C-alpha cells in the first residue's frame, strides 16, 4: 500500500511505517521487510534496492568520509540483519529518506539510486560504458578499418581528443598518433598527459635500435617474431608507446600486429582442444640478463591464454625466445602442448598486419592483448632506425578515461 508523505514532520518524529509517497513523481515503499522499492516517476518501472546495501552505502557524516570518498562504517559491529522501518520522500531535493532498525537515518538522491540500479540492463551499461569499455576483436584484414589516427597536438591539448584516443585504445587495442615532434621527450610527455610511465627492468623510456652486444632480442636488426613484451612479469606492463624518431630507408623495419584475442577466438571456435590446453597448461616465462649494471632473473608462470572465472580473456602471453627451459608439466602433456602452441603461432602469423611507421608517428597498443613484431632491416649509418618507447598501465589509463568521461559529460549538462 502506498502512503502519502507526512508533511511538516521531521524524519525523527515519524512513527514506524512501511511506505511513503510524496506525489506522483517519487514514491517509495518497503518490500519483504528488508528492501526498498522506489518509483522514480509516475508509470515508470519501480527500482528495488536491498536494505543492507543501502545501509552499507549511507553517506551521512557518521558513515562516510566525504573528501576521501570512503566508508567509515564499523564492520566489527555491522548488523547484517538491518532493515528499513520508515520511509519519506522529498520531492524538492529528489531524495528518499530512510529510518533503520538501528535508529540510524539515511538519505539517498534519486539520481544516485538510478545510477546504481540493480536492473540487469543498467548494470551492463555501467560495466560496458564506464567500468571498462567492451573490447571489439578484429582480424588482420580489418586493421585499416579499426585503427584510428589522432593528432598528437590535439591529444596533448584537448581533453575530448585525449578521451577518444584512450577509448579507441581500450576497445580495439591499438591507435596511432600523428605529427609528434622528433625528440626523445615525446613518450614521457604523452605518458604524463595520461598519468605516469611504468618503469621496468629496462628503465622508464627505452630506445629500440640495433646495438652491438645487445642484451635484448629487440635490439637487433634481425626479424623480431610476434610476441608480447615482458610475459615474465606477474603484472605485465599494459600499453606500449613507440615513437618513431628515425625510420630506416631499407625495405624492412615494418611493424607487425595481430589481435591475440581474435586468434584465441579462432582457436576456441575451430580447435577447442588446443584452446583448452593453452588456457590451462602453465608455462615458465623468463628473462635473464643485465641492464645499466643491474643483473636480473625474472620468471612468471602463466598459460598462453589467460582467462577469468567467467571465461573472458585477461591476458595473452607469447614469446618464443623468452620461455624458460624448465617446463613443469606431466610428460604426456609436453608434445600436445607444443602442437597446440605451434597452431596458435601459425594462426597469429597468418592473421598479422604489417605497416611501417614514419617519423613523428606514435604507435600505441595493448601489450596484454596484441602480439607485435618487426621485419628485419639493414642497419647502417646511412639508414638507421631509432624508436623511443615506454609503457603505461591499464589501471592508470582506465582511471584517466573515467575522469574525462565524468568531466566532459558534466560540462555538456
When pLDDT is averaged across residues 387-408 and rounded to a whole number, the result is 96
Give the bridge partners for 285, in sequence order: 300, 323
For position 211, what pLDDT does the model report?
55
CA dihedral of residues 103, 104, 109, 115 (deg, nearest 10): -110
> Tell me: the pLDDT tens digits for 215-266?
454 555 577 899 999 999 999 999 999 999 998 888 888 999 999 999 999 9
When pLDDT is averaged across residues 281-287 and rounded to a whole number, the result is 97
Structural contact between residues 132 and 170, judged by C-beta atoms closer than 8 angstroms? yes
| List of domains in the chain | 27-127 (3.30.2020.30), 140-408 (3.60.130.10)
Q: Give the residue with greater pLDDT, 13 vs 266.
A: 266
Q: Give the residue with greater pLDDT, 186 vs 4.
A: 186
For position 252, what pLDDT does the model report?
81
DSSP conformation letters of 41-81? STTSPPEEEEHHHHHHT--STTTEETTTTEE---TTS--TT
Angle between helices 159-172 and 394-411 (to 10 degrees): 130
Flag whether pLDDT at 13 surpasses 50. no
When pLDDT is averaged across residues 359-365 and rounded to a whole number, the result is 98
Flag whether pLDDT at 299 surpasses 70. yes
For position 377, what pLDDT does the model report?
72
Average pLDDT, the chain: 90
For position 411, what pLDDT does the model report?
82
When pLDDT is averaged across residues 32-56 and rounded to a whole number, the result is 93
**φ, ψ of residue 171 in degrees (nearest 5):** -80, -50
Question: 202-206, long-range: CB within 8 Å, 24+ apart, which pairs?
Answer: 202/291, 203/291, 203/292, 204/390, 205/388, 205/389, 205/390, 206/388, 206/389, 206/390
When pLDDT is averaged across residues 201-210 and rounded to a whole number, the result is 85
Quote the percentage of the chain above a pLDDT of 70: 91
Distance from C-alpha of 132 to C-alpha of 125, rounded to nearest angstrom: 10
Structural contact between residues 273 and 197, judged by C-beta atoms closer than 8 angstroms? no
For position 10, what pLDDT does the model report?
45
For position 18, what pLDDT does the model report?
44
For position 44, what pLDDT does the model report?
85
Cβ neighbours of residue 279 under 8 Å, at least 6 residues apart? 303, 304, 305, 306, 307
Quote the percentage of the chain above a pLDDT of 90: 77
Q: How far is CA 199 from the centre of its chain?
A: 19
> Tell me: the pLDDT tens digits for 153-171?
999 999 999 999 999 999 9
For position 16, what pLDDT does the model report?
39
For position 73, what pLDDT does the model report?
86
> Tell me: the pLDDT tens digits for 84-104?
999 999 988 999 999 999 999
Q: Please report which confidence band the pLDDT of residue 8 belongs to, taking 50, 70 and 90 as the band edges.
A: very low
Amino acid at each position: 500500500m502506498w502512503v502519502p508523505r507526512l508533511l511538516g514532520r521531521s524524519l525523527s518524529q515519524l512513527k514506524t511505517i512501511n511506505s511513503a509517497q510524496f506525489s506522483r513523481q517519487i514514491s517509495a515503499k518497503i518490500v519483504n521487510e528488508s528492501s526498498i522499492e522506489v518509483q522514480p516517476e509516475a508509470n515508470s518501472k519501480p527500482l528495488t534496492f536491498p536494505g543492507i546495501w543501502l545501509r552499507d552505502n549511507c553517506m551521512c557524516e557518521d558513515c562516510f568520509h566525504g573528501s576521501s570518498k570512503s566508508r567509515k562504517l564499523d564492520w566489527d559491529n555491522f548488523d547484517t540483519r538491518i532493515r528499513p522501518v520508515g520511509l519519506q520522500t522529498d520531492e524538492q531535493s529528489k531524495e528518499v529518506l530512510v529510518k533503520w532498525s538501528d535508529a540510524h537515518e539515511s538519505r539517498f538522491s534519486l539520481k544516485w539510486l538510478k545510477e546504481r540500479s540493480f536492473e540487469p540492463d543498467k548494470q551492463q551499461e555501467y560495466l560496458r560504458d564506464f567500468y571498462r569499455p567492451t573490447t571489439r576483436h578484429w582480424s588482420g584484414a580489418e586493421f585499416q578499418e579499426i585503427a584510428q589516427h589522432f593528432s598528437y597536438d590535439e591529444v596533448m591539448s584537448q581533453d575530448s581528443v585525449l578521451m577518444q584516443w584512450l577509448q579507441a585504445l581500450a576497445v580495439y587495442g591499438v591507435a596511432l598518433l600523428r605529427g609528434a615532434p622528433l625528440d626523445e621527450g615525446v613518450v614521457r610527455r604523452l605518458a604524463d598527459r595520461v598519468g605516469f610511465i611504468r618503469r621496468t627492468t629496462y628503465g622508464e623510456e627505452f630506445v629500440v635500435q640495433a646495438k652491438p652486444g645487445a642484451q635484448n632480442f629487440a635490439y637487433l636488426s634481425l626479424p623480431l617474431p610476434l610476441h608480447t613484451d615482458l610475459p615474465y612479469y606477474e603484472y605485465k606492463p599494459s600499453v606500449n608507446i613507440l615513437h618513431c624518431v628515425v625510420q630506416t630507408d631499407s625495405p624492412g623495419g615494418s611493424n607487425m600486429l595481430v589481435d591475440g584475442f581474435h586468434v584465441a577466438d579462432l582457436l576456441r571456435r575451430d580447435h577447442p582442444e588446443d584452446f583448452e590446453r593453452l588456457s590451462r597448461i602453465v608455462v615458465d616465462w623468463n628473462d635473464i640478463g643485465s641492464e645499466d649494471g643491474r643483473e636480473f632473473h625474472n620468471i612468471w608462470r602463466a598459460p598462453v591464454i589467460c582467462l577469468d572465472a567467467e571465461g573472458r580473456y585477461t591476458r595473452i602471453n607469447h614469446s618464443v625466445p623468452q620461455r624458460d627451459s624448465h617446463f613443469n608439466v606431466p610428460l604426456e602433456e609436453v608434445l600436445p602442448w607444443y602442437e597446440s602452441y605451434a597452431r596458435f603461432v601459425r594462426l597469429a602469423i597468418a592473421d598479422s598486419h604489417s605497416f611501417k611507421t614514419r617519423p613523428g608517428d606514435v604507435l600505441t597498443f595493448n601489450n596484454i592483448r596484441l602480439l607485435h613484431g618487426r621485419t628485419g632491416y639493414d642497419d647502417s649509418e646511412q639508414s638507421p632506425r631509432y624508436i623511443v618507447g615506454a609503457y603505461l598501465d591499464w589501471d592508470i589509463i582506465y582511471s584517466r578515461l573515467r575522469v574525462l568521461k565524468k568531466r566532459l559529460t558534466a560540462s555538456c549538462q
